[in-house]
């Protein structure tokens, strides 16, 4: 059973430790940044993607099957939530020949994304522009950017629908 | 033993308080607007409705217990705690202590 | 290579391909095909403009605790990400630490703690979402250093429950209802006291006080002489850690059903057809004179009879009952629109149901931003 000396401690410690946090966050600026223990914020400080495997002390080896136009990325602490959404948006990239994701083992918090891009450049003016060149890392970055844009549009549209519903209910 | 706080499957707790106006509305609009939140606060209201002679299925409807996962929480519950409460050493112990 | 111009039939077929076919035993057309290179001559690459033009959001109904809306024109992978985030990654406050000073009730300590953890709480919106920060647990191997605390007004909510059951002296002799015969025979969630400290007064006072969303939740039952005396600490957490932190009772989506009547269903059959669906999905109309006159319509000579007409396919549960009867064979086609998601979000009370969805979009965006930053520092 936990000790019986309980909240008194917390009370005593609160005022002195708090000073830096006193400036209350503005209503609409996300104060998350101040929240160092929030997992979403902690994620900014951790290295959670890797394409290169560290073996022993300083020997670096590529994750298997990687070259200029193909690479696997290993994400820690991600699952189907991001994996599938990212896979979809990367597959929408015309430079990408193949994209897939997998979770190698359910009890490890790891998610792998495999990206392969086309090697040959398209012929200009033929409309066959999906044979363009790009590295997997670029494709991944574009995927993340596109997903961020998508989120903005969804928020915008949802708020529009909320307003519409609000006015309809009032009428 | 005692009614669980939430539905095991969906995590609903129980209904917003059943007011007659709301109930009336529910009758008209259907169960769309009012639904069960938690099962923990429905049990006693359910027993009251049963005592009033309402059928169990109808009683659960009135409580806003709509989904079958929430309904089984109430339907299959056996309130064993009532039996265990009959054995209460606490009062006897207190009397003994008072007598020295 | 010039782009290939697909034929009309081909285009119709592709248009129909966003409907998932539902047959008696099988489903068809299941996966999305909107990727570059899938259809010859079609672009299909990601375009924000196009997405902005095609995405549609419809609010069906919305209350504080429950809302339903449609997202039209989005892929299942993204819709599913939003759903998963609502269930497992949006933070909410729940009791995590329980300090039992005394518990003589017949509910065992550990059972009581578990029940308390599941009780949902609500309180000032700004306080819970912005003022309250995450609490970091001490490393269990090292433990908390002596005399130090990691619990402050900005990451811990202190609650207490102190209650004792006594005999009601005023009760009639032989009273058998424990609620009348004793005081505090039942312990409810409303008996939990919130103990604000530090700056919590500022954020959680009056209507904004931390309180159970459902005050009538039964926590324990007592008999005279039994008592419960506990202190509780509530923290912020996420559903992936424990379901008690999940802010939704259910967050789910389904695809919009379609019902296409390809050949007329008339008379007694129409009534039977109507009974194959939930109320309000199929209505019965009379065959008009004009329809009965038209040759090849299937209505000839049936003027004045009932015919089945689809009224509101959204209400359908897609039970496929109508596909079991030989009289409807070849007369009806069932399907679901692949990119029309009807979301239904029920909040347990801490968040407003609409905010939950917006928050889930925000969480996904934050995830991407964190990883993008990561990518720039990756070892290549």
Every domain of chain A and the residues it spans: 42-165
- Whether the per-residue pLDDT at C364 is higher than 90: the answer is yes
Tell me if B38 and C61 make a contact (CB, 8 A cut-off).
Answer: no
- Is the model more confident about C149 or about C196? C196
Tell me if C119 and B5 make a contact (CB, 8 A cut-off).
Answer: yes
Can you tell me the mean pLDDT for A148-170?
Answer: 94
Set of chain C residues whose Cβ sits within 8 Å of the Cβ of A11: 197-198
pLDDT score recorded for residue C257: 96
Of the listed ranges A111-125, A144-158, B62-76, C204-218, the one predicted with least confidence: A111-125
Task: Decide: residue A129, CB within 10 A, 0-12 exposed, 13-18 middle, 19+ buried.
Answer: middle
- Whether the per-residue pLDDT at A57 is higher than 60: the answer is no
The Cα–Cα gap between C312 and C60 comes to 14
Asked if C122 and C213 count as a contact pair (C-beta separation under 8 A), the reply is yes
Burial A28-60 (b: 16+ CB within 10 A, else e): eeebbeebeebbbbbbbeeebbbbeeeeeeeee
Can you tell me the mean pLDDT for C48-59?
Answer: 95
* Mean residue pLDDT across chain A: 74
Determine contact: B25 vs chain C, CB below 8 A: no
Determine contact: C69 vs chain A, CB below 8 A: yes
pLDDT score recorded for residue A2: 41
Domain C92-245 superfamily per CATH: DNA-directed RNA polymerase, insert domain (2.170.120.12)
H/E stretch holding B46? helix B43-51
Number of CB pairs < 8 Å for A and C?
Answer: 225
Can you tell me the mean pLDDT for B75-90?
Answer: 90
- Whether the per-residue pLDDT at B77 is higher than 80: the answer is yes
Can you tell me the mean pLDDT for B70-75?
Answer: 90
- Whether the per-residue pLDDT at C150 is higher than 90: the answer is no
pLDDT score recorded for residue B29: 43
Can you tell me the mean pLDDT for A138-165?
Answer: 95
DSSP C206: G
Set of chain A residues whose Cβ sits within 8 Å of the Cβ of C365: 147-148, 151-152
Q: How confident is the model at residue C147 (pLDDT cuts 50, 70, 90)?
A: low
Distance from CA of A38 to the nearest CA of C (A): 5
* Mean residue pLDDT across chain B: 76
Of the listed ranges A5-19, B43-57, C162-176, C294-308, the one predicted with least confidence: A5-19
Same topology, domains C18-39+46-90+247-262+331-368 and C92-245? Answer is no
pLDDT score recorded for residue A52: 65
CATH topology of domain C18-39+46-90+247-262+331-368: Gyrase A; domain 2 (3.30.1360)
Phi, psi of B10 (to 5 degrees): -110, -10
Tell me if B41 and C106 make a contact (CB, 8 A cut-off).
Answer: no
pLDDT score recorded for residue B28: 42
pLDDT score recorded for residue C234: 95
CB-side neighbour CA atoms (13 Å) of C315 = 13
- Is the model more confident about C49 or about C10? C49
pLDDT score recorded for residue A56: 52
Q: How confident is the model at residue B32 (pLDDT cuts 50, 70, 90)?
A: very low
List, for residues A81-93, the tens digit of each pLDDT value: 999 999 999 999 9
- Whether the per-residue pLDDT at A55 is higher than 80: the answer is no
Structure tokens at C178: 């424990």
- Is the model more confident about C302 or about C233? C233
- Whether the per-residue pLDDT at A4 is higher than 60: the answer is no
pLDDT score recorded for residue C9: 78
Q: Which CATH class is domain C263-330?
A: alpha beta
- Whether the per-residue pLDDT at A129 is higher than 70: the answer is no
For C214, the closest of B4, B10, B37 (CB atoms) is: B37
Tell me if B90 and C214 make a contact (CB, 8 A cut-off).
Answer: no
Can you tell me the mean pLDDT for C333-340?
Answer: 94
pLDDT score recorded for residue B24: 44
pLDDT score recorded for residue C379: 57
Of the listed ranges C52-66, C108-122, C135-149, C151-165, the one predicted with least confidence: C135-149
Residues 38-67 (A) with a CB less than 8 A from some CB of C: 38-40, 43-44, 46-52, 60
pLDDT score recorded for residue B88: 87
Domain boundaries, chain C: 18-39+46-90+247-262+331-368, 92-245, 263-330
CATH topology of domain A42-165: Gyrase A; domain 2 (3.30.1360)
3-state SS, C56-123, equals EEEEEEECCCEEEEEEECCCHHHHHHHHHHHHHCCCEEEEEEEEEEEECCCCCHHHHHHHHHHCCEEC
pLDDT score recorded for residue A68: 77
Q: Give the percent of chain C with pLDDT over 70.
A: 96
Of the listed ranges B18-22, C3-7, C38-42, the one predicted with least confidence: B18-22
Can you tell me the mean pLDDT for C146-158?
Answer: 83
pLDDT score recorded for residue C260: 94
pLDDT score recorded for residue C88: 93
Tell me if A81 and C364 make a contact (CB, 8 A cut-off).
Answer: yes
Residues 6-35 (A) with a CB less than 8 A from some CB of C: 6-7, 9-15, 17-18, 21-22, 24-25, 27, 31-32, 34-35
Task: Decide: residue C334, CB within 10 A, 0-12 exposed, 13-18 middle, 19+ buried.
Answer: buried
Can you tell me the mean pLDDT for A64-86?
Answer: 87
* Mean residue pLDDT across chain C: 90
- Is the model more confident about C146 or about C76? C76
List, for residues A5-34, the tens digit of each pLDDT value: 344 444 444 443 443 333 433 334 344 446
Can you tell me the mean pLDDT for C291-302?
Answer: 84
Set of chain A residues whose Cβ sits within 8 Å of the Cβ of C38: none
């Amino acid at each position: 059973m936990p000790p019986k000396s309980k909240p008194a401690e917390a009370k005593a410690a609160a005022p002195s430790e708090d000073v830096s946090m006193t400036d209350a966050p503005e209503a609409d600026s996300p104060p998350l940044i101040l929240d160092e223990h929030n997992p979403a914020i902690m994620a900014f400080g951790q290295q959670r993607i890797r394409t290169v495997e560290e073996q022993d002390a300083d020997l670096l080896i590529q994750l298997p099957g990687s070259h200029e136009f193909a690479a696997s990325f290993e994400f820690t602490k991600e699952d189907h939530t991001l994996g599938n959404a990212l896979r979809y948006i990367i597959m929408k990239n015309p430079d990408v020949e193949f994209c897939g994701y997998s979770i190698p083992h359910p009890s490890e918090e790891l998610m792998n994304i495999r990206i392969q891009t086309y090697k040959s450049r398209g012929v200009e003016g033929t409309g066959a522009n999906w044979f363009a060149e790009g590295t997997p890392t670029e494709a991944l970055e574009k995927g993340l950017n596109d997903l961020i844009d998508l989120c903005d549009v969804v928020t915008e549209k949802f708020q529009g629908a909320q307003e519409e519903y609000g006015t309809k209910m009032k009428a | 033993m005692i009614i669980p706080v939430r539905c095991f499957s969906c995590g609903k707790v129980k209904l917003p308080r059943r007011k007659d106006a709301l109930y009336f509305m529910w009758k008209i609009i259907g169960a769309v607007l009012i639904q069960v939140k938690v099962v923990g606060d429905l049990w006693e209201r359910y027993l009251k409705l049963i005592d009033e002679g309402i059928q169990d299925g109808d009683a659960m409807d009135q409580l806003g217990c709509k989904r079958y996962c929430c309904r089984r929480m109430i339907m299959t519950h056996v309130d064993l705690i009532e039996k265990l409460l009959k054995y209460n050493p606490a009062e006897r112990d207190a009397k003994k202590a008072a007598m020295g | 290579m010039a782009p290939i111009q697909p034929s009309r039939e081909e285009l119709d077929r592709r248009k129909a391909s966003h409907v998932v076919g539902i047959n008696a035993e099988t489903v068809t057309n299941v996966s999305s095909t909107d990727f570059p290179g899938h259809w010859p001559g079609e672009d299909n690459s990601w375009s924000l403009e196009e997405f902005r033009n095609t995405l549609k959001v419809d609010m069906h109904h919305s209350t504080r605790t429950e809302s339903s809306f449609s997202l039209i024109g989005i892929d299942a992978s993204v819709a599913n990400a939003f759903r998963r985030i609502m269930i497992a990654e949006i933070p909410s406050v729940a009791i995590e630490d329980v300090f039992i000073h005394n518990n003589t009730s017949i509910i065992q300590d550990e059972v009581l703690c578990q029940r308390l953890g599941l009780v949902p709480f609500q309180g000032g919106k700004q306080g819970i979402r912005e003022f309250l920060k995450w609490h970091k647990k001490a490393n269990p191997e090292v433990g908390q250093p002596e005399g130090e605390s990691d619990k402050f007004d900005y990451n811990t909510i202190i609650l207490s429950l102190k209650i004792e059951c006594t005999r009601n002296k005023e009760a009639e002799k032989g009273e058998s209802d424990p609620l009348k015969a004793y005081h505090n025979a039942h312990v409810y969630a409303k008996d939990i006291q919130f103990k604000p400290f530090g700056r919590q007064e500022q954020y959680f006072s009056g209507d904004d006080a931390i309180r159970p969303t459902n005050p009538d939740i039964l926590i324990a039952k007592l008999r005279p002489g039994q008592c419960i005396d506990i202190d509780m600490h509530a923290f912020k957490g996420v559903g992936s850690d424990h379901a008690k932190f999940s802010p939704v009772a259910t967050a789910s989506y389904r695809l919009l059903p379609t019902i296409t009547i390809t050949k007329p269903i008339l008379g007694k059959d129409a009534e039977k057809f109507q009974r194959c669906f939930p109320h309000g999905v199929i209505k019965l109309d009379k065959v008009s004179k004009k329809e009965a006159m038209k040759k090849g319509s299937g209505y000839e000579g049936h003027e004045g009879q009932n015919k089945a007409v689809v009224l509101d396919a959204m209400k359908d549960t897609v039970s496929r009952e109508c596909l079991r009867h030989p009289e409807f064979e070849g007369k009806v086609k069932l399907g679901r629109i692949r990119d029309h998601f009807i979301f239904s979000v029920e909040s347990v009370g801490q968040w407003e149901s609409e905010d939950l969805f917006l928050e889930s979009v925000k969480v996904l965006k934050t995830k991407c931003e964190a990883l993008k930053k990561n990518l720039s520092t990756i070892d290549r």
